[in-house]
């Protein structure tokens, strides 16, 4: 049922994200908000992360776990060895994913991973057109409302699509349907480079729109410029479009091209 | 060179942490601080995470990586399959590590993972005595200075020891020496339960002091109460002893008993 291009795209990116138009709830971790006091002010936290389950393990061997020691052991300790493809679930794409000499996850300091969060809402057009992309006009519209995109930001696409709903339906889709999912347009990416953005993020499973794969123009140019991406976010509809902070919590694994992450918004 | 107790402890916990008395620098990720504006106030961030390298992979097979696709592929994309024991590097211990029905990492909402940070400095005694523990008196001394430990906190032991320096020396140590590392005393743990702390953290590789292993009294009681731990932190000497926030960034992996983490302090 899958052609070579499908397999390449799925192996590389987890899966395309063809959605149901509704917010992803299948893998929510509840409660997904927290609130606490810092310097006498209330700090709000929102989890932007899908629970990391077999639902993301579209291709065999992408995610497995074996007990090194079970809880039945004398001392009562359980622990597992986890085997996982780096680009599974809500995850970070490090520059090295497409740049052989680029930074690995282990090379990325927190100053790159905790940054201003900008959310560009394309739900209206993505609900009608599964090839919808973040275009320069969408960035201009955001800036008209909120001011210039702050330097060093992570700019996130809110398409409203649900990667898990898509995966459940994947087998029943035509090859043409499978290649349709929203993403960043290359011209919008160019504009974000001029704004000195550090990261781009999507609620689908690919920075590139489905119809651009497997050429990956956005992955190629963005990651090779030393920037990073986040794929498979959720809850972006509940985060502030402007004024918040994103933190991508990834274990700093030496040599890794990507890593499953715990991504939060602070505001 | 290793007896059965050593192997159990090392397999379970990564390694004991017998230190050099100096701050861990071997695996620093620089810059390890960031500063950004939120609601018009400066937010400071400090990375409490060691770089995750083979230096933590004391036992064979604990951490390995194989290329699924190399950067020489036509499209220029590289990605790897990572095999890792959950309790490697700077990592979280979930309740399930010692409680068969306890929460896995995937069950832990961010309201549990972003909490007030309390740092208890025992460097002075740990520098003289490798069996030094966080005792009830250390908690009382902290409270005398900073006020009562806030409910829901993570209480971190700052011993000043360096797990990586210890691992480099492990082969030259006597069996008795290997079983010496600071940790939480069970009576201190009881007191922290009464304070409604949610987590405890250490800059060694075990919540329990070395001489308590492999009975793991603190792991057993603390994790079975539904609480969590962090092992292998660094930079605690640079974080505020009181008034900061800790966030344990762990990918919410279903069923996992622990996970390598990106841990930060906010203040």
Please spell the DSSP secondary structure of A135-155, one letter per residue. -HHHHHHHHHHH-SPPTT-EE
What's the first-to-final CA gap in chain B, in angstroms?
45
pLDDT the model gives residue B237: 96
Q: From residue A35, give the alpha-carbon distance in Å to each of A26, A129, A234, A262, B250.
A: 24, 37, 19, 17, 19
Has the ipTM of the complex gone over 0.95? no
Rounded to 10 deg, the angle between the A186-194 and A217-224 helix axes is 20
SS3 at position B171 = helix
Closest Cβ–Cβ partner in A54, A77, A251 for B262: A251
Reply yes or no on whether the pLDDT at A183 is more than 60: yes
pLDDT the model gives residue A163: 77
Reply yes or no on whether the pLDDT at B129 is more than 50: yes
Q: How many other C-beta atoms lie within 10 A of the C-beta of residue B124? A: 10
Query: Is B51 within 8 Å of A254 when comparing Cβ atoms?
Result: yes
Reply yes or no on whether the pLDDT at A182 is more than 80: yes
CB contact, 8 Å: A96 with chain B? yes
CATH architecture, domain defined by B4-57+86-266 = 3-Layer(bba) Sandwich (3.50)
Reply yes or no on whether the pLDDT at B239 is more than 70: yes
pLDDT the model gives residue A260: 98
CB contact, 8 Å: A221 with chain B? no
- When mean pLDDT is compared across A71-85, B14-28, B121-135, B219-233, the lowest value belongs to B14-28
The Cα–Cα gap between A150 and A139 comes to 12
Residue A17 pLDDT level (bands cut at 50, 70, 90): very low
C-alpha A66, offset from chain centre: 27
Q: How many other C-beta atoms lie within 10 A of the C-beta of residue A171? A: 9
Q: What percentage of chain B exceeds 90 in pLDDT? A: 70
CATH of A4-59+86-266 among 3.50.30.50, 3.30.420.40, 3.40.50.10470, 3.30.70.270:
3.50.30.50
The Cα–Cα gap between B14 and B8 comes to 10
The Cα–Cα gap between A228 and A230 comes to 7
Do B120 and B160 touch, CB atoms closer than 8 A? Answer: no
Residue A23 pLDDT level (bands cut at 50, 70, 90): very low
| Burial (CB count within 10 angstroms: exposed 0-12, middle 13-18, buried 19+), residue A1 | exposed
Do A213 and B77 touch, CB atoms closer than 8 A? Answer: no
From A117, which residue of chain B is nearest by alpha-carbon distance?
A: B38
Query: Is B86 within 8 Å of A86 when comparing Cβ atoms?
Result: no
| Burial (CB count within 10 angstroms: exposed 0-12, middle 13-18, buried 19+), residue B59 | middle
B185-210 as b/e, with b when 16 or more CB fall inside 10 Å? bbebbebbeebebbbbbbbbbbbbbb
């Amino acid at each position: 049922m899958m052609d070579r291009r499908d397999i390449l795209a799925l192996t590389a990116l987890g899966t395309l994200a063809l959605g149901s138009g509704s917010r992803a709830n299948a893998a929510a971790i509840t409660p997904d908000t927290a609130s606490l006091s810092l310097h006498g002010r209330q700090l709000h936290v929102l989890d932007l992360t899908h629970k990391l389950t077999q639902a993301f393990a579209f291709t065999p061997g992408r995610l497995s776990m074996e007990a090194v020691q079970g809880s039945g052991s004398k001392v009562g300790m359980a622990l597992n060895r986890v085997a996982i493809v780096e680009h599974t679930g809500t995850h970070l794409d490090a520059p090295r994913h497409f740049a052989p000499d680029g930074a690995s996850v282990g090379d990325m300091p927190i100053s790159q991973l905790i940054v201003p969060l900008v959310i560009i809402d394309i739900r209206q057009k993505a609900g009608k057109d599964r090839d919808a992309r973040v275009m320069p006009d969408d960035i201009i519209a955001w800036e008209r409302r909120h001011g210039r995109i702050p330097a060093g930001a992570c700019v996130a696409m809110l398409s409203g699509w649900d990667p898990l709903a898509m995966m459940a339906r994947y087998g029943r889709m035509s090859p043409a349907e499978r290649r349709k999912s929203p993403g960043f347009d290359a011209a919008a990416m160019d504009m974000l480079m001029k704004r000195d953005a550090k990261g781009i993020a999507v609620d689908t499973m690919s920075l590139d729109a489905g119809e651009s794969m497997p050429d990956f123009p956005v992955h190629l140019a963005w990651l090779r410029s030393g920037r990073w991406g986040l794929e498979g976010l959720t809850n972006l509809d509940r985060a502030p479009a402007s004024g918040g902070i994103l933190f991508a919590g990834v274990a700093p694994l030496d040599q890794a091209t990507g890593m499953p992450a715990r991504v939060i918004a602070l505001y």
